[in-house]
Chains A and B, each alone.
Chain A
Amino acid sequence: MSLKGKVALITGGSRGIGRAITARLASEGADVIINFFRKRSSAENTAETVRAMGVNAHIIKANLAEPDKINAMFDEIKARFGRLDILVNNAASGVARSAMELDVDGWDWTMNVNARAALLCSQRAVGLMQNGGSIINISSLGARLVLPTYTAVGVSKAALESLTRYLAIELSPRGIRVNAVSAAAVETEALKFYTADPSLPPPLVTGTPVGRMVQPEDVANAVAFLCSESASMIQGQTIIIDGGLSLTFQGHADRTPSKGDTDASN
């Protein structure tokens, strides 16, 4: 599965799942471009780690909620590398609110970072993928299942999975494959932000059929596979990495009424 000679951009590639993906692609020989939002020190640390693997690593700061910052990022990639072979739309953000408490700003921010940015990055990336390429979108089970306060992110991931299919069909004639990797809760720092149930993660460990939580490396391994020739007939798919969790019946919906407009005249 050599990616030697390939150039890969990983959005949000400095921490958590993104860092694992960056490291995995670098271990296969790809030069990596690590996009980050705020933590330059984390991006530099990740870059140093993968340079030790013998590949080139470059960091680019860009707030993916801002189209002009995305354009500036790709202008820099074009000037510096002249090509792109792999785009991993991994960066994600969002507000933790129930559907009834989600406001316009929270919706816009989440959708812009998680879904719109994937579209805008893909549009620019295609121009640099003159010899074909691979686009991988990172999704989560919240796109299909209902998780507490996950409304904005779940909806944005559902949009991302649909976008995956549309891009896959449209970009097939260019030799570009587009797929998504959807993971259950992954054991990272970011998980702590979205944990609404204080009893997590023990139930995730005991409830997952294979008996452990998804690790960042599990997602990274799936991304690397999808980038390889071995996956050449996988197009427009969402691969689920959850140890079988989503196949099981959980049955503990919270029946506490959420806040929000309770005007009886509606």
Chain B
Amino acid sequence: MPVNQSVEDKIKEIATRILRKSDITFSRTTSFKDLGADSLDIVQILAAVEDEYDIELDDEEMQEINNTADFVAYVERKIAEKG
């Protein structure tokens, strides 16, 4: 399985658990709010992703992100930066 797909699948797994939804789809036109997430859900998703990859997601950088596909790309970038 390609590395990029693996990160997306892991984030979907986290979102599925926290949002208690199945068949979650990420795209550039779908935000976490579109998936039913409130502010608490988003904090918990961010914390879980950070724990999973031992990275720190910057809240100011993430203000530029408004869809789930871009969020996956951002996480992949943070993983790559960590080395």
Q: Does B79 sit at the interface, judged by CB under 8 A?
A: no
> A37-B47, A38-B46, A63-B47 known; A95 and B56 CB under 8 Å?
no
Set of chain A residues within 8 Å of B38, measured between Cβ atoms = 95
Determine whether B6 belongs to the interface, using a CB cutoff of 8 Å to chain A.
Answer: no
Question: Does A40 make an interface contact (CB < 8 A)?
Answer: yes
Instruction: Judge if B40 is at the interface, Cβ distance under 8 Å.
Output: yes
Instruction: Specify which chain B residues have a CB less than 8 angstroms from the CB of A105 in the assembled complex.
Output: 40-41
- Let me know if A194 is at the binding interface, CB within 8 A: no
Q: Is A174 an interface residue (CB 8 A)?
A: no
Q: List residues of A (95-110) whose CB comes within 8 Å of B's CBs.
A: 95, 105-106, 109
- B70 CB–A CB distance under 8 Å: no
Assess whether B22 is interfacial by the CB under 8 Å rule.
Answer: no
Is B50's CB within 8 Å of the partner chain A?
yes
The count of residues in chain A whose C-beta lies closer than 8 Å to any C-beta of chain B is 11
The answer to whether A106 touches B40 (Cβ under 8 A) is yes
B39 at the interface (CB under 8 A from A): yes
Which residue on B lies nearest to A37, using beta carbons?
A: B47
Q: A38 vs B54: C-alpha distance in the bound complex, in angstroms?
A: 10
Report yes or no: A40 in contact with B47, Cβ–Cβ below 8 A: no
Let me know if A40 and B40 touch, CB within 8 A. no
Q: Which residues from B are CB-within-8-Å of A93? A: 43
Question: Chain B residues near A37 (CB, 8 Å)?
Answer: 47
Contact residue among A38, A41, A95, A106 (Cβ-Cβ distance under 8 Å from B47): A38
Contact A109 B46 (CB under 8 A): no
For B43, what are the chain A residues with a Cβ–Cβ distance below 8 Å? 93
Q: Beta-carbon contacts of B21-61 to A below 8 Å, as 1s and 0s? A: 00000000000000000111101101100110000110000
Judged by a CB distance under 8 angstroms, whether A4 is at the interface is: no
> In whole angstroms, how far apart are the Cα atoms of A105 and B45 in the complex?
14
A39 in contact (CB, < 8 A): yes
- Choose from B39, B41, B44, B56 the contact partner of A40 (Cβ within 8 Å): B56
Closest to B57 in A: A38
Contact of A38 among B39, B40, B50 (CB under 8 A): B50
Q: A39-B56, A40-B56, A41-B56 are in contact. Are A109 and B47 (CB under 8 A)?
A: no
Cα A41 to Cα B82 in complex, Å, equals 13
Query: What is the distance, in angstroms, from A68's C-beta to the closest C-beta of chain B?
Result: 12
Q: Which residues of A contact B41 (CB under 8 A)?
A: 105
Minimum CB distance partner of A95 in chain B: B40
Give the distance to chain A from B5, nearest Cβ to Cβ, in Å. 26
Ranked 8 nearest A-B pairs via Cβ: A40-B56, A95-B40, A109-B40, A38-B47, A106-B40, A38-B50, A63-B47, A41-B56
**A/B interface sample: 20 pairs, CB < 8 A:** A37-B47, A38-B46, A38-B47, A38-B50, A38-B56, A38-B57, A39-B56, A40-B56, A41-B56, A63-B47, A63-B51, A93-B43, A95-B38, A95-B39, A95-B40, A105-B40, A105-B41, A106-B40, A109-B40, A109-B44
| Known A38-B56, A105-B40; further 14 A-B contacts with Cβ < 8 A | A37-B47, A38-B47, A38-B50, A40-B56, A41-B56, A63-B47, A63-B51, A93-B43, A95-B39, A95-B40, A105-B41, A106-B40, A109-B40, A109-B44
